[in-house]
Every structure is written in structure tokens, then in C-alpha cells.
Structure 1
Amino acid sequence: MMGHPQNAEYSQRAYEPILREGEENIATHCCFCGMQCGMNIRVEKETKKVIGVEPRYDFPMNGGRLCPKGVSAYRQAEHGDRIVNPLIRKNGELVESTWEEAIDLIVSKIQEIQGKYGKDAFGVYSGSSMTNEKCYLMGKFARIGLGTKNIDYNGRYCMSAAAVGFNQSVGIDRGSTNPWSDIKSADVLLIAGSNTAECHPLSMPYIWGARDRGAKLIVVDPRQTKTALVSDVHLDVRPGTDVALVNGLIHLLIKDNMIDENFIQNHTNGFEELKQLTESFTPERVSDITGVATEKIIEAAKLFGQAKNGMVMFARGIEQHSNGTDTVSNYVNLCLLTGKIGRKGSGFATFTGQGNGQGGREHGQKADQLPGYRKITDPEARKYIAGVWGVDESEIPGPGMSAFELLTSLGEEVKGLLLVCSNPMVSAPTVGNVKKYLEKLDFFVAIDIFLSESAELADVVLPSSVWIEDTGTTTNVEGRVVLLKGIDHTPGQAKRDWEIICEIADRLGRGQYFKYNSSEDIFNELRLASRGGKSDYYGITYEKLEKMNGVFWPCPTEEHQGTPRIFEDLKFGFPDGKARLLAIEYKGPNEKPDEEFPYILTTGRVVFHYLSGNQTRRIEALSKFCPEPYVEINPETARKLNINNGEPVKLVSRRGELTVPAKITKIIRPDTFFVPYHWGKTMAINHLTNPALDPKSKIPEFKVCSIRIEKLDQRSAQ
């Protein structure tokens, strides 16, 4: 086991924030991406009003830096759009009500629907931008408070392919095998499907640290992003062809003897099948499939294969596909073939998109999961969790539907829905259909801080707290559990999410299972529920988190210091202790260009916005930088279609259409268009995207679909 990484990994200067009289600093972490950067929130002592933010120099992930979103995050707390009173739909309009009236209606509707259609007729659609405590509570509430099997969460759209891919390759899913400080020790970095410079900008100092040592950088992306611009080799892959690209790299690694035969023999299974499958993936064939020049494929294989230490890192660009799970496993194959795992500077990681994307998928709000990353179909797991919860094992339902399957069942199998911290009217594929699904519900209740595009459709909306108004834990991109401190204040009649859930459970007659007085009470139960599971938090306490600035799981005892780097003993999460080299055949995307829809659409993020934009689009400073979506078009394609920069164009797929201004740029492939996805209603790119699901992880194929483009005259664009 490796010792706890020291904060000195960042060169820091002594720093004491200047506090004015009547102010205090609350040490917490950013609410946005998986970096979970440390920050101090400035608060007026008397009024508890949030008035500013300063980066923390004592937290190693960001070392005194914040990105544009982090600098602006605190503005949510005092924002004028906050929901501060319960809302009930009357005569077609949402109007303010009392908590008593709102809870009365919710409880009566739950009882009415479940009494008529059965327990599973009421579903829960949750999120990962919440603390571990809240994520844990949502899973328990669904199973024990409501008695329903139908709970899933929005992480199904972003992290599920990595989770299943890691599990099928190495037997455990932690977003990174290594602490982020290890990036600096790599001799080569392969980054696939991640515009790190914009989406996780505070990771760039680590990458620069590796580059300063002479490390080589390989970037796989259809766009010449800010990250690709600084690479040694940019593999400008055609969207949806990553499996073929990696098979080509594997072909060269084996052919040119750049593999670790000793590691393969002693610590893996499946090599011969992988070797046989990749024999036909010559550079020429792979170039034809992917559009990447043969010389770049050969150079990338040499850089990765000949390096002593190296890391493979990726994000949604390779995961949000109908074969995303196997694509993840194929990238993991690169580390396993070359023995780059289990030591400083060698391993693999996925850039976690949501603030608690890691912890949110560990503790029971997934459709097929119980706390501690236990399978809900495992009899021993069910027995153990039943004991923790104080119920009979038979009271725990079986697996339910995944997120998009749950949405498509609304109004049919599922008649009522509780939506928490999620906005599927922007984040789900084919959002035009999602609205129809939500409108078919007999009853729909949302818990949120703002009236999102989804909450606008609800029958009841309950006002909850922003992250700074509650204490709890999250688990960052490294697998480091951190403590977020909150202020003792919520605006108006708003309540903390966990208090709302416990109140509903009590009114449903299940309050004996939800007797918590604080977030720490919930966390202590989570610790016990996770004990002995793959994601074991049992040895982690609030006191320990504060003292150590975060603790890496697994941490099985209170004396244990956590596990920053997993697989150091080269024992993987299978009975024989060996990792799986999986032979992945190339099948291509679910939808390919044709005569009617000749181009490829891909989507992604920009640095100024977060997920569905429900939070960041309301912050004026961020919205000004990027007020609306646009479509990136290669100049060659623009000339062919007679499209000028800034002109409105219509994008059309088999599912929907969107009109946006053209942005003519050389950074995108001629056969591909790119549109950011942070906007809703008529500006939501997910009107067009393909709902085809990965059969293993159930993640939709957001990152590639076939479209055509139509130039509009000014009259039709208005």
C-alpha cells in the first residue's frame, strides 16, 4: 500500500485568506466536476449570506487554482431563481404552497398509485451531483421507503460504460487506479475522448508536470481541441471507431514486441484470443476505418509501447456509445498488455464528469446495485444489507430498469415518479419524446434548487439546498473521499434533500428506518453498509477526512490510511486474481452516414457550462461567455455547402432537428459536426441524438449519430 500523498505534490506558498470583520470562511469543495477542487466560501456570520469564494491552497487537487465554473459556483446560493417555497400545480400552473399541503399530496398520490398498480409503479430518478449521503439515502428510500425496484440515476448517461468496462476487465470500478499526482510520473499519456483543458482544466497542471519531465502526449479526438493542440500525436479519429483504432495499436504492440510477456503470463487471461482477433487490424485497414493517417497510428503505438511508465485516460468521448463498455475495456487492454499498472505513473482513469460521479455509483442508487458496490441479485449481499437496514431480506426488491428504460416506461409500467437532482429534459437522448413520457405520468414530483426544464413539468416541486447549505462527502475522480462543510442556512422554506426524503418516508409509515439527525448519521450507516464491499468506506470518518484532507477507498478499518493506488500487489478483482484481456471485435456505431443523412454529429462540453446547464446558464458571468449552442463545421465542408460563419443552419437527424449558428473552424473533421449540449427546450442538441443503448451498461449513444445540414435564409431563421 502506498502512503497518503502529501499536499506538497503541488508547489504551494503560505497563504492565509484575508477576512473582513463579520465574515467567516467555510472550507469545502467545488460542486461541479469530479476534480472536487478545494475552496473556501466566504459567508457573513450574522446573516449566513454567501458573498464570495477563494481557492484553497491546502487541497492537493487544485493547489490554489479554480476554473471559471469554480470561481462562479457560489453565486447559486443567493441567486434570484432559487425555488424557496413548495410549488403545486393548480389549474395548469405551479403556485406556492405550504410544506404540509405538498407532503400531504405527495404521500396520498404515492399510496394511491401503489395501491392501484403495485409498489413498482412508483419510480425514482436520481442524480450524482449530490453527496454520498444523499445518493445512499435515495437507494435506501426507493427500496425500503417506497418498496420499489425502479430506481436509477443520471450517471447512467455518463459513467456507466467506464464502470462496467472496469469491472469486466479488472474486477473493480474505481475511476482511477492512481492518485492524480501519479500523472506527473508518467513517461507517456494517452488521453482519449476528453478535452481535458476545457472539461477538467485543473488536471492540466498535472499533465504539464509530466511534459516538463519529457513525457509524450497522445490525444484521441475527432476535434483538434485545446488538449490535442499540445499533443505529440493527435489521432483525429472518426467518431465511433475507437475500437478499431485500439485494435490497431494492439496489433502493432504485439507485432513489434512492445508488450510485457511476463506480466501477461502471470497476471492476465485472454491474450491468445486478443492476439488472434487483432492480427487483421493492420495500420492500413485501421486508417481506412478511422480516418487516421497510418504514420500517426504507428507513431502512437511506438510512443506508448516503448515508454516505461504510462497512463491511459479517457472520458465520455469513448464511453457514450452503444459499445462504450467494450471500448473502455479495449483501452484498458493497452495498460495490461504493456504491464503499465500498479505502480507510480502507470495505470488508467476516466475523467469523472459529475461532481460525485464516483461515489454516486457506489452506494445503491443504481438499478442493479446495493451499497458498497454490491450486486442486488447476490443473496449474501442482500442478506448483509437487510441486516444493516433492519428489514427482512424479502423486503429488498430485485433489479429495476436503467435510466432511459425507466423514462420510456413512464405512463405505462411506471405511473408516478420522484425526480431528484436531475434534468432528463436536457440530458436524455430524444428529449422531445422524454417530454411526452413525463406528461403521461399520473403524478410527478421533483426536488430541485431551480425550476429546470424537467421540474417545470412536475405536479409538485420541492425546494432543496445547494451544496454549500449542507455538510456531506463526495468521492472525487481519484477515488478520494472528501468532506464538504455547509452553512446552517437555507433560503425561504427550502430544506436539505435528505430531510425532505426522511419526512416523506415518515409520512409513509417507514420513518423508523430513516431516523437521522445529521448527514454524519447517514454517513456512519453508509460506512457500515459498505463494509466488506468493493467500495469499502468503513474506516473513513468525518474526523479522519478533515485531518487527512480526504481518504482513498478502500479503507476497511479506522486505523487504515486509505489506498491511493490500487493493484500494487498485481492482484485483480477476480477469484484467480488475474485481469481479463478482452478481445473486442469492431462493429462500428449503431447509426452510420448514408445518402439521406451523410454527416456525423458528435456532442460535448464547453468550459463555461456544466451538464444540462440548469445551474451555470443562470450565472451571468458564465452565460455571457457562451450564451447559446453552435455547430462547428470544417471550412472544407462549409465551402461545399456554401455556409458562412455565423449563419443559421438546421441540423436534422432521424429523431429531430435543431437550428444553430455555424462556427467555421479547422479543429473539426470534414465529415463531422460538433455541438455542445448544455441548453434545453428548442436549443437542446439531444433532440437529435440516438437512444441506442449499450447492451451491458445501458448508456445511450450520445457521441455519434447521422445527420444532414440545411442552410437557412434569414427569413426562415427568424
Structure 2
Amino acid sequence: MTEMLLRYFRTKQQEAQTEKIYETQCPFCSMQCKMQLIEQSTVTRKKYLTVGKDNPTSEGRLCIKGLNAHQHAVHNERIKHPLLKVDGEFKQISWEEAYQLIKEKFTDIQEKHGKHALSVYGSATITNEEAYLLGKFARVALETKYIDYNGRLCMSAAASAAAQTFGMDRGFTNTIQEIPHSRCIVLAGTNVAECQPTIMPYFERAKENGSFIIAIDPRETATTKMADLHLKVKPGMDAALANGLLKVIIEEELTDLSFIEERVNGFEEVRDYVSTLDLEEIAELTGVPAEHIIKAATVFGKEESGMIFTARGVEQQTDGSTSVRNFLNILLVTGKIGKKYSGFGAVTGQGNGQGAREHGQKADQLPGYRSIENEGHRNYIADVWGINEADLPRKGVSAFEMIEKMDEGEIKGLFLMCSNPVVSNPSAEFVKQAIEKLDFFVAVDMFVSETARLADLILPTTSYLETPGTMTNVEGRVTLREASFPVRGEAKHDWQIICEIANVLGKGEYFSFSSPEEVFNELRVATKGGLADYSGITYDRLRKEKGILWPCPDENHPGTKRLFEAEFAHADKKAAMVVVTNTPEIPKEKPTQDFPLYLTTGRVMSHYLTGVQTRKSSTLAARDFESYMEIHPSTAEKYQIKDHTLVKIESRRGSIIVRSKCSQTIRKDTVFVPFHWADSQNVNRLVSKKLDPTCRMPGFKVSAVKISPVAK
């Protein structure tokens, strides 16, 4: 009887459940959906449940990635201790040993080869505080000009286009809540249904309200299915398509001449250029019938309000910056900017793609969107940081160009934070070979990624559940991510790692922070008076107001919901139109007899970036466990490719092997491969090294390839 009672009470004890709730927000896309992780614990196991939390942007919605994000954070392959490579194998060492090694190696490299022999490669998934600190670390602790980040591969085209056109760049010029009330919406090169699923209800409401939706994409996607008109453009022909739309709008007198006269420069040059173009030739060039171009232009021009959204399909090209500028030309000639329900949206890809590009990770940038080459800006930031302006390095080069300098031997050391450039960059095999030439390479990561495998030293960092701080979402809304989940092993927050390394390098006085909020308060001062002014934003306000749209110049300011209502950010207060020709400065690859097909790349809903985190989620990995090549059935038949069989794809740079997936929804001259996979399935092996001359964006979306069955 006693034994039975003991078993009974033991069973009840094991069944007894405790519950903890952790406030957080999704680590993936730029919607930055607020959520709670509920941990239910018994003596024998823990279960997790994720629920959405109401907020101004995603209204409590979550997608499949957010619901399962915790699976990577609690994964048993998380790095929990510093790892040193010894004879090709990683061995656990102490933080003290790791920091001492960094001090020795970094000091030795700079003494032998100069300050700029070290480089820093950052991320658009880290918090604003960490992005700010990383830029300061490069320029103050290392005194190197070589810093850039993975957002160069994501948002640089849209950012440069907006800055050149409007004088400043914020993801959305309007709030997300205005979308349902816009009368005509253009979705150019964006598949939001799979990339930012929780934004879709805003467009669905717009459609219910009678909005006419135009989608521009070489493929039919879940997003194009929502559209009233799908312009199935040839890969790389977006700028030419925009010229066709401009031609119709101008010649049909659908322009807002008073707006142009009062607030725009450069209209006459654009008008004169498009008047020389032939619409039928544009139709032939773009693959979009002339009647569809006329329909799209006419509806957008006639409606009282309209919005244009661009994403990687337009931007990840060697003329991505000017392509976006041409779509902004359309907004300007129709006067659909700075008004209710009219404006521009750059649909940011990475979680903090907006904030990470504002505060100093870019090669030419200082916090608050200040320029590192502007003497006034340099003096202001030097004063905030307590250094001499003369000691502040000048601008460096873009992310891929830093890798080229590693290959050439100019850069000898690399400090990499939360990025995977071996998979994400073009000509991926070249990137790997360049990194392998480094004298010393430190990677900060949660997992041993494909790039971290090459490191001499890996430092374990914390996950989104463990690291508090601010993020800036797709709208330009600054949010506060709370985080109190127990830290795994000896992992440290990115901001702690930066400060502690700066200390061992003898620069601790500039990095004496004890919390993210302390870092944010210095960031507020550093951004004051800049374009991206966060000075009026505080942690207390963010908790109370659930996010604030910048610029916010003082603590009584409500944040800026709509940009450019009265003036643009150029010195003369006007926007700048520019002629964008149908012949780009950097020629794009076109199909040839040897490489007869276009290759374009993109995302799938269940994965994020290079898949390092999402492939650690069993739920997400099960949905898409391998890469694939989407191909039209008639094209597959022409090249003897059977559905669901292995196929070899080759470009002038290399080859990969993936599985075929026949689809009637893609152009017959185009194949599509998602970019989330590595090694033999890494589609970026096939992409050229050519870069956009303005923003240095690689041309991921247009490559010429040939295909063949692996086994007939």
C-alpha cells in the first residue's frame, strides 16, 4: 500500500505543471510581430506555446515562422561556450582566453599591416543598440574604416533611391494603417504573402474597399493571385516597365502639374526622355503586353490616391537603385506622396533592416543617417563619443567589396556578428576562398553556421528571447523588444561582447555600458538633429505607446506618421526626379545559346535568410526540407526535366543540384530557386560579382543559366 501511494504521489508530482510567460517579438521579418512565449513545465519536460500580442503593426497576428521561432532558440545545437579551432576542430575555452586571444591577434595584425587591416561585418537582425555599438566599435575601438553589414544585400537599393529622391529614407512614408484606404496599390517585386504574411490583411482590406491592386513579378505567387492585374515582367526589366508606365501617365495627361511645379525638380528631363520611347518596344523588352501597361498606368494615374511598394525583386539588381527611382518618379508625376493614403513603401526584409541601416553599420554612415564624409556630422559624433574628429576613420567599402579586399590581402582580420556571408553573398565559392585567406577570423553566432565553420574563434551569443533592445520595423516604427528568457550556458549578449572586447583592447572608457537602455540613451543623443532622429524616444514611452515612428525630436513629440506632407528633405525642400534609361549602366546577363534561361531567386514562407535559424526548427524544416527549381512544364519538357527529379543548374560561376518543381505559374524563359539553402544547394554560387554602381547591391535576381537532368 505504501509503495502504491508513493507511486501515486510521484506521478502527481511529475504531472504538476508550472507556467512562465516571456514577452518578446518575432526575430524574423520586418513586421516584428509582438508575441508571448508560454513555457509549461513539469518535472519531466517543458512545452512551449507562442501566442500573438496586439500591437499597432501586426494587430496580434503571427505567421508560421513566428509561431515556431522558439524552436531554434531552445535547440540543443546552440553554442554555449567560446570555441577555438585547434587542428581543424573546435574546442571549448573560457571567455578570458577568448578575449586575450582577440587582443593578441587584433593587435598583431594592426601593428604589422595598419589599422584598416581589420574589418567588421554586421547584421540587420541585431538590435538598434547593438548596431549602434558595432559601428562605434569599428571606428573607436578598432579605428578601422572597414565596416559594412548584410543589409547591403537587402535594403541598399531602396534606401539609396529614397535618399536621392526624397532626401531621406524611411521604410514607409506613411503608416501601415493607411494601406486599406489607398485607391490603387502597386506591388513591385514583392511577394508579401510569403515574405511578410502578417501584412497581407492590410492589402486584403484595401481590395475589399475597392482598391485596384497591380502586382509586378515574373512568377505567379500567393501575392499576385490577390492582384487585379499581374504584370509578368521579364527578370531585370523593371526599370523599362516603369518607363512604359511613365510614358502613358505623362502622355495621357494624368500628371499633377501643380504638385510637380511646386515640389519637384527634374520632371522636364524625364518627360522628354520617355517621349522618345516606343510603347510596343517596351512591351517587347519587358514581356508585358502594351495594353496591360496602359491599363496599369491609367488606373494609377486617375485614382485620387495610390501607393507603390517595392522589394527585392526590383531592388536586388545591378540597376536596383535606379529601378526604384523610376517607380518613385511615378509617385512624383502623379503627386501621390506626402498625402493621405498615398506614398512609398520599401518592404524591408530583415527584422531590423530599417534600424540597422540608420546608426552606423554602413561603410559611409554615422548614427542618425549622418554621413561619415560630412565635416559637421563627423564633428558632432566625435563630440558625442569623446574622441578627436581627426581620429574618426573615413568611409570604407560595401560588404562584398570588403570580401574582395580579403581576397586581395588588404584585409587580414574579420569580426563577424550574426551573419552568414558564405551563403548570402554572390559568387559564394569565391567568398569562402577569400575568408579562408584571413589571418584571424572571429564569428559571433548562436550556431556553427556555414561561415562560422571557417572561423578561428566563435563567440556564443544570445537569442531574441534572451536579448532585450529596440528594433525598427517596416514602417519605421521603433519598438521595444522585452526579453527575460534564461541565457543558454555562457552565451553573452552582442552588446556585452562588443563592450568587453573594447575593454581588453584598451578602449573600455568609451564602452562602459551596463544595459541596453544605457546604450539607447547614448544613441538618442547621437541621432539628435539627424534625419533619423530618435532623441525623443525613451524606453518608458515605448512601453506605454507600443512603438513610435521616427523622426521624433523631443519627448513631447508624438512621432511622425506621414513624411513629406509640406516639404522633402533636400536642401531646396523639393524631390528629385531622374531619367532612368532602358539601358542600365552595368549590363545584365541575358540568355544565350549556352545559357538559355533566366534564373531568379527569392524566399519561401517557412524559411528566413540563409536558414541557419529556421532549419533548427523541426516544424519549419519539415515544410521545406530542401531547395528546388521552379520551372514551367513546357520548359521542363524541352530540357528533358521530369517533375520532382534532380536537376543541375549551371551559370558562368558554378553549379548546384536541386529538385525540379513544375509550375504553370512561372514564365517559360525563367527558373526560380529559393536562397535559403547552403553548400551544393546554394543558389548564390551562380550569381555574378557585378554590383549596382550606386548602392553596391549584387544582382541576385538576374542570372543566365543552363539546366540538365542529373540522371535521365
Fold shared, TM-score > 0.5 on shorter chain: yes
Change (3 A) 1:448 1:260: same
1:544 has 2:535 as partner: no
One-letter amino acid of the counterpart of residue 313, structure 2 = G
Cα distance in 2, alignment partners of residues 372 and 380 from structure 1? 13
Shift of 1:593: 1.4
Aligned to 1:151: 147
Cα distance in 1, alignment partners of residues 76 and 332 from structure 2? 51
Aligned to 2:522: 525
Select the residue among 72, 86, 90 that pairs with 1:90: 86
Give SS of 1:698's match.
coil
Change (3 A) 1:487 1:442: same
Aligned to 1:616: 614
1:512 has 2:523 as partner: no
One-letter amino acid of the counterpart of residue 418, structure 1 = F
Shift of 1:21: 6.6
Q: Are the aligned partners of 1:244 and 1:281 in contact in 2 as well (CA < 8 Å)?
A: no
Select the residue among 223, 235, 242 that pairs with 1:239: 235
Matches within 5 A, 1:558-707: 558-569=555-566, 571-588=567-584, 589-707=587-705
Shift of 1:627: 0.6
1:72 has 2:68 as partner: yes
Q: Are the aligned partners of 2:465 and 2:485 in contact in 1 as well (CA < 8 Å)?
A: no
Aligned to 1:440: 437
Extract unaligned runs of 5+ from structure 1.
Answer: 1-19
One-letter amino acid of the counterpart of residue 493, structure 1 = E
Shift of 1:306: 1.0
- Most deviating of 644-653 and 472-481: 644-653
Aligned to 1:556: 553
Shift of 1:50: 8.4
List per-residue Cα deviations over 1:552-599 (Å, max 9, x = no partner): 000000110100111122x00111111011111112552111121111
Q: Are the aligned partners of 1:479 and 1:552 in contact in 2 as well (CA < 8 Å)?
A: yes
Aligned to 1:10: none
Cα distance in 2, alignment partners of residues 57 and 209 from structure 1? 21
List per-residue Cα deviations over 1:537-562 (Å, max 9, x = no partner): 00000000010000000000011010
Shift of 1:621: 0.4
Cα distance in 1, alignment partners of residues 470 and 569 from structure 2? 26
Aligned to 2:317: 321
List per-residue Cα deviations over 1:71-118 (Å, max 9, x = no partner): 011122211110001100111111111111111111100000001000
Select the residue among 109, 126, 130 that pairs with 2:126: 130
Matches within 5 A, 1:54-73: 54-73=50-69
How many residues are treated as equivalent by the alignment? 693
1:188 has 2:184 as partner: yes
Q: Are the aligned partners of 2:306 and 2:342 in contact in 1 as well (CA < 8 Å)?
A: yes
Select the residue among 363, 369, 385 that pairs with 2:359: 363
Cα distance in 1, alignment partners of residues 592 and 447 from structure 2? 41
RMSD: 1.4
One-letter amino acid of the counterpart of residue 280, structure 1 = T
Cα distance in 1, alignment partners of residues 37 and 53 from structure 2? 13
Extract unaligned runs of 5+ from structure 2.
Answer: 1-15
Shift of 1:56: 3.4
Q: Are the aligned partners of 2:154 and 2:316 in contact in 1 as well (CA < 8 Å)?
A: yes
Q: Are the aligned partners of 2:600 and 2:700 in contact in 1 as well (CA < 8 Å)?
A: yes
Cα distance in 2, alignment partners of residues 452 and 597 from structure 1? 32
Cα distance in 2, alignment partners of residues 671 and 44 from structure 1? 52
TM-score between the two structures when normalised by the length of structure 2: 0.96
Cα distance in 2, alignment partners of residues 44 and 202 from structure 1? 26
Select the residue among 420, 424, 436 that pairs with 1:423: 420
Shift of 1:647: 1.6
Shift of 1:29: 1.4
Select the residue among 366, 373, 376 that pairs with 2:369: 373
Shift of 1:271: 0.7
List per-residue Cα deviations over 1:515-558 (Å, max 9, x = no partner): 00100000000000000000000000000001000000000001
Aligned to 1:284: 280
Shift of 1:502: 0.7
One-letter amino acid of the counterpart of residue 467, structure 1 = Y
List per-residue Cα deviations over 1:260-305 (Å, max 9, x = no partner): 1110111100111000111133321111100111111111111111
Aligned to 1:482: 479
One-letter amino acid of the counterpart of residue 594, structure 1 = T
One-letter amino acid of the counterpart of residue 565, structure 1 = R
Cα distance in 1, alignment partners of residues 327 and 544 from structure 2? 36
One-letter amino acid of the counterpart of residue 656, structure 1 = G
TM-score between the two structures when normalised by the length of structure 1: 0.95
Shift of 1:28: 2.3
List per-residue Cα deviations over 1:380-424 (Å, max 9, x = no partner): 001000110011111110001110000111151100000101000
Shift of 1:642: 2.1
One-letter amino acid of the counterpart of residue 126, structure 1 = G
- Most deviating of 529-538 and 336-345: 336-345
Cα distance in 2, alignment partners of residues 627 and 28 from structure 1? 27
Q: Are the aligned partners of 1:42 and 1:50 in contact in 2 as well (CA < 8 Å)?
A: no
Select the residue among 380, 389, 393 that pairs with 1:393: 389
Aligned to 2:8: none
Change (3 A) 1:50 1:182: farther
Q: Are the aligned partners of 1:690 and 1:704 in contact in 2 as well (CA < 8 Å)?
A: no
Q: Are the aligned partners of 2:71 and 2:618 in contact in 1 as well (CA < 8 Å)?
A: no
Cα distance in 2, alignment partners of residues 312 and 426 from structure 1? 31
Aligned to 1:306: 302
Aligned to 1:6: none
Cα distance in 1, alignment partners of residues 340 and 40 from structure 2? 43
List per-residue Cα deviations over 1:178-223 (Å, max 9, x = no partner): 1111101100110010111111111110001101110011000000
One-letter amino acid of the counterpart of residue 433, structure 1 = F
